[in-house]
Structure 1
Amino acid sequence: MGNCIQRAQDTDIAAVPAVTAQPTFPRSENSECTSHPLPIPSKPLVASNDNDKTRVLPISRPESEILSFPHLKSFTYAELSTATRNFRSDCLLGEGGFGDVYKGWLDEETFAAAKPGTGMVVAVKKLKPEGFQGHKEWLSEINYLGQLDHENLVKLIGFCLDGDNRLLVYEFMSKGSLENHLFSRSGRPLSWDIRIKVAIDSARGLSFLHESDPQIIFRDFKASNVLLDSEFNAKLSDFGLVKAGPTGDMTHVTTRVFGTEGYAAPEYCATGRLTTKCDVYSFGIVLLELLTGRFAVDRSRARPEQKLLDWVKPQLPDKRKLFRIMDSKLEGQYSRKGAYVAANLALQCAHIEPKYRPRMSEVVNILDKIPSLKRSHSRASSDGDNDVGDPMSLPDPAVWKHSHVRSCKQSKVSPAPSHQTEKLSKEAISAARTMSSRSEGSAPSTWQSSRGFATRR
């Protein structure tokens, strides 16, 4: 797991909107941004499917102000203390840099504190009293999650601002984080089908944010920020570093650098310039983690293998080496063609040049065509699944070699020719469609609706 990185440069104003008669967009640290009028919704914006573009981004206002959302419950500190059994250690779910998360119980109708084992289970994040950045993240979570509703975003139930106490209440995700499942030595390893499902769910969540009007950039996508429910449906969590994307003629926003080593896009680390393609890069790294079972950065390994991306790149030009990068726990669970498409898609997402990375909506389309284990086995004997084939052409191996990212401070590298990258994307999509057409019927939906605020117990 990488270390948190930040560059003490520029002033990063948290996106914390407030209801005003004539709200305006924030001015980015890049002064080219202009203001635009934008209505403020009184309830969360819901996306019933990925084609829904009716989404509105919160407005940046003074940090002391919080938007009013009727569907969010305002709790007192005493209520949440009772719900978590006075924040007892046996209710502790996890610890973070800006606070700890506890398990709690609330009445399903009134949201009053309930006895343990009754009502609905929730997750309560209690921020540490000190720290300006933690306060900004608390405000950001309320004002973004308060306006967004999607199956692949964790749901915010309410918040607490009581004296110096700042808390957030979320739906409870019983399976915990993707990071714990991928890298824990105890427990059952995630199957191939579940890993692809998690990748698709995560891609849908990011696509929803990126296709909002204006765009929303997650900024800190990593395995620990992907939570799983009882059915292994994946949802994005921790919206503290979310940022409003560029508007009008802007190509990017410039901001103070926050993120995690190994996941943060190199151009963002080097310049502070933020776009949705930075999220795409981070997604590519997490997809590699899903395929390999390795950390994005692992200092305990030999130097050539410490950075996952640097280790994977030289392996893939030779299709026969695919098995070398795949998690040994997945042996026998995937088709080689499906794994090859997923691995190459991950490298395309993590391309050093942002313009050559696909959009998250394109990522969803490609991943959605990768066959599941059941369908792969059913056709293996008839279509020679043991042959690798050529589902997606890689760029010239020299391109990957010269685009190695040794650190976020590496100098800029000449990109691959544009016609070569366009060919890569088209062949990737074509290959995925071909695999889908050969499978037994169309692929079923890989994500399910989970409208309830919290898991019942």
Structure 2
Amino acid sequence: MFFWKTGRETATEPAAGHPPPLIVVKPAELKVLARIGKGSFGEVFKARWQDVHIVAVKVLHVSGKSKAEREHLLKQFQKEVRLLSTLHHPNIVRFLGVSDVSVLPPYFICEYLNRGTLTNWIRKAEPHLQQDLAFARDAARALAFLHAQKPPIIHRDVKSDNFLLADRDNGLVLKLSDFGLSRVMASLGEKMTPCGTIAYSAPEVIRCEAYSEKADVYGFGIVLWQLMTHQIEPYPGCTPLQIQLKVSLQRARPQIPHRFVDLRIPRLMHLCWREQPDARPSMAGIAQLLERLCADLVDPNGHHRRQLHGVRFPHGGSRPPVEERHHM
């Protein structure tokens, strides 16, 4: 159930057990400036709200769909609105308001992040270890926040396209977006529908087995690999079907290059990609490790430390890390 209030009303305390009211944003309050994204669900626009705020507007396209498709899309849309409106974290895109229930096509608005997706950053920017590790840390913080909810929230589509960047006074900030596939985990081992993007999907998801928030950890490992290598395709030249077979049957993982400034980075990737979900670290532990890695690059006065000791694997490519005790 949704509770609405207009943008100029004062929010009242919701009844016990009910979510807080949602701000209703009328079409007349929005001036579209540009289309910034398009997908099977609909489109995303940059717009001005109430002649003041620059926002992103996500519009769901339901015209031309069958009744079953419309119902499915509306259900996903409502779930994303309901979930996003309750999540408040500096590394999660901030929800601002939603269209009235009578408006078609439905839309919601959230903060506008002016630097695009992490995918575009990886494609265009020069590798910069301090910045890339900071992005990885911020992504880990967002996912750790989701997994810390009671019950845990599984994003289920962790990929570089779903992390957005924006300029802030103290530099760039990264935020997690797109909660249309997210799911509250009702019970451990619950069977859930496979979803997400194949190249980021954990083996248990590909095999249609029960999965948990550790599937997000696997996807994060792929994003970390992209940030550290500045490559987009973890399995270049492979079709989605080939990736499914390689990952689920052959236990293939992305190739890790020779050079790394710190052994903890490739080791963390391997830990995220472990076959058994319970053997993967928690996102909270990953965030803590990345905090330490970022701190190792800058001294207390804000000056860059020397580069950390280089690491080379003897034959190139990737190899399993030396087993250690990890408290994550």
What's the TM-score bracket when you normalise by the shorter of the two chains?
0.7 to 0.9
Q: Residue 369 of structure 1: which of 265, 284, 292 is its match?
A: 292
C-alpha deviation, 1:217, in angstroms? 0.7
Say which SS state the counterpart of residue 194 (structure 1) adopts. helix
Where does residue 93 of structure 1 map in the other structure? 36
The alignment's TM-score, normalised by the length of structure 1, stands at 0.58
Q: What pairs up with 1:31-50 in 2 under 5 angstroms?
A: 42=14
Say which SS state the counterpart of residue 97 (structure 2) adopts. strand
Q: Residue 274 of structure 2: which of 330, 348, 351 is its match?
A: 351
User: Aligned partners of 1:101 and 1:294: how far apart in 2?
Assistant: 26
More relative contact order in 1 or in 2 (CA 8 Å, sep 6+)? Answer: 1
**CA RMSD in angstroms, aligned pairs only:** 3.2
User: Aligned partners of 1:156 and 1:387: how far apart in 2?
Assistant: 42
Q: What pairs up with 1:16-415 in 2 under 5 angstroms?
A: 42=14, 69-70=20-21, 72-80=22-30, 83-84=31-32, 91-106=34-49, 112=50, 114=51, 119-129=52-62, 130=65, 131-132=69-70, 133-160=72-99, 161-184=101-124, 188-189=125-126, 191-230=128-167, 231-246=171-186, 250-300=187-237, 310=252, 312=254, 322-323=258-259, 336-337=261-262, 340-371=263-294, 373-375=297-299, 378-379=305-306, 385-386=308-309, 388=311, 400=320
Preserved contact between residue 119 and residue 232 of structure 2 (Cα < 8 Å): no
User: Aligned partners of 2:266 and 2:297: how far apart in 1?
Assistant: 17
Match for 1:220: what amino acid? Answer: D
User: Aligned partners of 1:268 and 1:300: how far apart in 2?
Assistant: 22
Question: Which protein shows a greater Rg?
Answer: 1
- Count of matched residue positions in the alignment of Structure 1 and Structure 2: 293
User: Aligned partners of 2:92 and 2:85: how far apart in 1?
Assistant: 11
Structure 2 unpaired stretches of 5+: 4-12
Say which SS state the counterpart of residue 207 (structure 2) adopts. helix
User: Aligned partners of 1:176 and 1:127: how far apart in 2?
Assistant: 20
User: Aligned partners of 1:272 and 1:311: how far apart in 2?
Assistant: 19
Say which SS state the counterpart of residue 254 (structure 1) adopts. coil
Where does residue 53 of structure 1 map in the other structure? none
Match for 1:74: what amino acid? Answer: V
- Farther off after superposition, 349-358 or 134-143: 134-143
Say which SS state the counterpart of residue 287 (structure 2) adopts. helix
User: Aligned partners of 2:60 and 2:75: how far apart in 1?
Assistant: 11
C-alpha deviation, 1:201, in angstroms? 0.8
C-alpha deviation, 1:193, in angstroms? 1.2
Say which SS state the counterpart of residue 257 (structure 1) adopts. coil
Match for 1:100: what amino acid? Answer: E
C-alpha deviation, 1:206, in angstroms? 0.7
Identity within the alignment, %:
28
Q: Pick closer, same or farther for the CA change 1:218–1:244 going to 2, 3 Å.
A: same
Q: Pick closer, same or farther for the CA change 1:201–1:386 going to 2, 3 Å.
A: closer
C-alpha deviation, 1:156, in angstroms? 0.7
Say which SS state the counterpart of residue 253 (structure 1) adopts. coil
User: Aligned partners of 1:387 and 1:300: how far apart in 2?
Assistant: 30
Say which SS state the counterpart of residue 240 (structure 1) adopts. coil
